[in-house]
Structure 1
């Protein structure tokens, strides 16, 4: 599980480059094509109802508030009966305790593993080549089928934005190509697929990838809520965290830019009974 950590603003040059790419500037690299080695995508499955109440339960599954009808749980957990359940997979980094072939783990020019600075037990996956991306997708295929068999309706692939934390080893287009494969796998299994964070990929890139909805952490904190709702409408789930709120949660909910499906959670997403547990919703 990776929960977004506080971040610094993108350098000015990086912002300019991202704006240029999203605007279709001739200097931007073309979006990659998906590999022919993966299943052909089917029509996008349905998503949750507009204005639903969601809960984000990556710190452990539990019976949610009675109003909750959408629940995100780790792939190792059972979906909530009767709810629209979303299956969490760490798509772009190794999950603690997993065993990955060394050639699929990213290394820098010195040969050292590229570790997520905020999660030192997670190594970024090496998505730089089509062969590696196909191999990674092949490893995720049975996990996705497990989500389907368990009864999940959708899947969230976390750490789409790993390329931005790779110290320049990974490129945006490689993340887009990997995401395309994940969406194809999800759709071919009947699952809707979420875009996780990564506001810089909204627009042309997200359209090419084929995401069905978005799960975003702290869009109010980072002033990104309107970007996601402009693109996905009401198909956005937002999680704000107690340790990084920039204003009272009541004000977050009252803001017209805030997604209708917004919750307040403790950073570690603990279950009820924990001293840190917090769950509120707009």
Structure 2
């Protein structure tokens, strides 16, 4: 929908007179894997944020984190937010095909499943990672090249929906980990979008969480593992009044707000 401490290992290669540094999760790593050398941004619990997917970003909300559409915003938009001291997350749909994206013709028709309830969108057959990986790599290359700090990959829970494909939880775990790897290889941190049942298995692979409507469905406590690991949970409600969930959000240290479903500029934070 628009819905263990990390350990740094320093290996001294004396025989070749060089020093190799590889820090788990810091954006560095084995050059053979094409890993970006930039340090990963690791958002901590409690950070305020803005989530705007409707059009080009409006920088007026005074918050340290912006989550914006990767296609609809330019490198200049990201740079402007950086000049104001903001971190910027790149929204990319990884679970559904969208007929309004410039790369729509790159997706084979055989990978397109049922409509997902959003105009112009159809679920993807995530079992076909051999085809989807290069497509997603190009999208994440775009996020990296525009200067984004992180990625919000949307629709990571197709296995729980009527996609038109017999997707399993195991299929979803493999795909979600592939998505996290693609982001990390480019020096981008990555958030787990929804997919609450698989948090225990995926916590180590993702750097933060993005959640919709956990308060409405009385599920916010299921996000506690992220908070306990020192990882932010960026949370939004659409219909619940702040009086019904903000006290609990503050207790859980979630970054919570109310948004309208179109995800424009308007926001009401806790």
Q: How does 1:212-231 map to 2 (within 5 A)?
A: 212-231=207-226
SS of match in other structure, 1:238: strand
TM-score (norm 2): 0.76
Q: Does residue 263 in structure 1 map to residue 266 in structure 2?
A: no
- How many equivalent pairs are there? 224
Q: How does 1:1-282 map to 2 (within 5 A)?
A: 2-4=1-3, 39=33, 45-60=40-55, 61-66=57-62, 68-76=63-71, 77=73, 78-79=77-78, 80-81=81-82, 82-97=85-100, 98-99=104-105, 100-106=107-113, 114-116=114-116, 118-128=117-127, 132-165=128-161, 166=163, 169-203=166-200, 205-207=201-203, 210-233=205-228, 234-241=231-238, 244-245=239-240, 248-255=241-248, 256-271=250-265, 278-282=266-270
Q: Is the 8 A contact 1:229 1:235 kept in 2?
A: no
TM superposition shift of 1:39: 4.3
Tell me which stretches of 4 or more aligned residues in structure 1 moved more than 6 Å.
40-44
TM superposition shift of 1:101: 1.2
Per the alignment, do residues 218 and 124 of structure 1 end up closer, same or farther by CA in structure 2, a change over 3 Å counting?
Answer: same
RMSD: 2.3
Give structure 1 stretches of 5+ with no counterpart. 5-37, 107-113, 272-277
Structure number having the greater strand percentage: 2
TM-score (norm 1): 0.73
Give structure 2 stretches of 5+ with no counterpart. 4-31
Measure, in 2, the Cα distance between the counterparts of 1:260 and 1:178.
Answer: 26
Measure, in 2, the Cα distance between the counterparts of 1:40 and 1:252.
Answer: 43
Measure, in 2, the Cα distance between the counterparts of 1:96 and 1:250.
Answer: 38
Q: Is the 8 A contact 2:226 2:233 kept in 1?
A: no
